Amino acid sequence: MNTLVIGSQWGDEGKGKVIDFLTETADFVVRSQGGSNAGHTVIAAGKKYVLHLVPSGILWPGKVNVIANGVVINPTMLVEEIRGLQQQGVTITPQNLLISDRAHVVLPIHKQIDAAQEEALGEHKIGTTKQGIGPTYADKARRIGIRMADFIDPKHLVEVLTVRIKTANEELVRLGWPAADPQETLEAVMAAADVLRPHITNTIPVLNEAVKAGKNILFEGAQGAMLDIDFGTYPFVTSSNTSAGGCCTGSGVAPTRIDRTIGVCKAYTTRVGEGPFATEDAEIADYLHGLGREFGATTGRPRRCGWTDGVVLRFSAMFNGFDEMAMTNLDGLDHMKTIKICTAYKMGDQILSYPPALMSDWAKCEPIYEELPGWQQDTTGCTAWEQLPEACRAYVKRFGEVVGCPVSSVGVGPDREQTIPTGLV
């Protein structure tokens, strides 16, 4: 059984927690796109882990974790993350963490180029995580990137790095930023390469042989569908295909081998960075921030917050082919008197069921809301669907109807145990 777990909104839906919950029955956990722009929080046995590049399956013993070809890897950050997890008592070996030889490398200079590009955009900035993601995928598309395969032979690596550091520095200088120290950059990458080398392999046959042997593979999506470079709120998107298709191109496991696709969604909506957000609401943002919730796992930025956007979710469920939705953070709505769901947008005299493409059209979209009664009751101790208040269950059902996809589980707290199957699938 091969399962895709995809963020259905603008990221931070709680994919880490859902993956962790599903890993128990998985053999492999695979990251297939994005990079250290991702921040996946898992709380297990009261301990908090934030994963950026390492698949969340690393927290379970006996699982094989794969950073596949579609991911862009910052080698120094990956080494730092591995070390940090090891300090937290997590076992990481070349047997339980495999890195694709086809994955592209984020250089420290890519991060600086990212920051320089954002600065140049001024008030039109994307609000990136400044992890060098866009510049690295741009190099991949321009066919000038460095890949993990280049790490295998140190002599060869020095040659390719020397050339690439020079051209990347030229780009940085063109953007008006000072060049990075070439020797320092080279040494940092070479040192990380020594640590990562034993993990690098051709992961495509490994995964396909696992499929053949009937193993269970879990694909850990990063970011969210509306940050997808094709389907998202372009240009306010990330630089990879965050949707279901990206799991296949990013891993070499064919679409014909995928059995189940789960969309992870919050019971409300959040977004970090710039870009359209029709259901954004200051009151719900203040309320959630006041509870100490909704601060970014990667950048610490307060997340923008709003009501459930059925237009976005309906679109997302369509182009991802979701079989079911895993809802998280339902407890975030526990004390709301009334709860709103956006069912459509009003754009001038048109009613839209799906998001527009143009930014100028987004600016004209007004959400059309349906209001439901809140349950005003703490749900964090509930362990079964029947224990949830009636109004709460009615909200979850209505949510599924608006999106056109049933909700199969709800989260009522960040802990591993706080996931409740709904029986709706």
In this structure, are strands 200-201 and 28-31 parallel, antiparallel, or unpaired? unpaired
Give min distance, CB of 7 to ligand GDP, in A.
Answer: 6
Is 52 among the residues known to form the active site? no
Q: Which of 20, 40, 114, 309 is catalytic?
A: 40
Please pick, from the candidates 39, 108, 132, 310, the single residue that binds Mg ion as defined by CB under 5 A: 39
Q: How far is the CB of 263 from ligand GDP (least distance, A)?
A: 12
Interaction of residue 204 with ligand GDP, rule CB under 6 A: no
Binding pattern to ligand GDP, positions 24-63, x when CB under 6 A? Answer: ---------------xxx-x--------------------
The 2-31 site mask, x for binding Mg ion (CB under 5 A), equals ----------x-------------------
Bridge pairing between strands 64-67 and 40-44 = unpaired
Q: Which one of the listed residues 12, 114, 150, 334 is annotated catalytic?
A: 12
Measuring CA to CA, which residue among 303, 319, 322 is closest to residue 354?
A: 319
Pick from 109, 108, 32: which is nearest to 66 by CA? 32
Residue 13 interacts with ligand GDP (CB under 6 A): yes or no: yes
Does position 233 interact with ligand IMO (CB under 6 A)? The reply is no
What is each CA distance from 63 to 3, 33, 35, 259, 279, in whole angstroms? 15, 20, 21, 20, 39
- The DSSP line for 298-348 is TT-PBPEEE-EEHHHHHHHHHHHT-SEEEEE-GGGGTT-SEEEEEEEEEET
413 binds, among ligand IMO, ligand GDP, Mg ion, none (CB under 5 to 8 A by kind): ligand GDP
Between 50 and 391, name the residue whose CB sits nearer to ligand IMO: 50
Q: Which is nearer to Mg ion, 14 or 70 (CB)?
A: 14
CB–CB of 104/139 below 8 Å? yes
Candidates 36-44, 79-87, 276-284, 344-352; binding stretch for ligand IMO (CB under 6 A): 36-44
Kind of pairing between the strands at 407-411 and 304-306: unpaired
Q: Closest distance between ligand GDP and the C-beta of residue 274, in Å?
A: 18
Per CB under 6 A, does 15 bind ligand GDP?
Answer: yes
Q: Is the peptide bond before 178 cis (omega within 30 degrees of 0)?
A: no
What is the secondary structure of 23-49 as a DSSP string?
HTT-SEEEE-SB-TT--EEEEETTEEE
- Containing 419, the helix (H) or strand (E) segment is strand 419-421
Interface pick for ligand GDP out of 17, 63, 164, 304 (rule CB under 6 A): 17
Q: Is 232 in the site for ligand IMO (CB under 6 A)?
A: no
Active-site residue 331, yes or no?
A: no
CB–CB of 391/397 below 8 Å? no
Amino acid of residue 359: M
Q: Does the protein bind ligand IMO through residue 227 (CB under 6 A)?
A: yes
Residue 328 touching ligand GDP (CB under 6 A): yes
Distance CA 340, CA 398 (A): 11
Site for ligand IMO in 66-125 (CB under 6 A): none
Site residues (vs Mg ion, CB under 5 A): 12, 39, 297
Q: Which residues are annotated as catalytic?
A: 12, 40
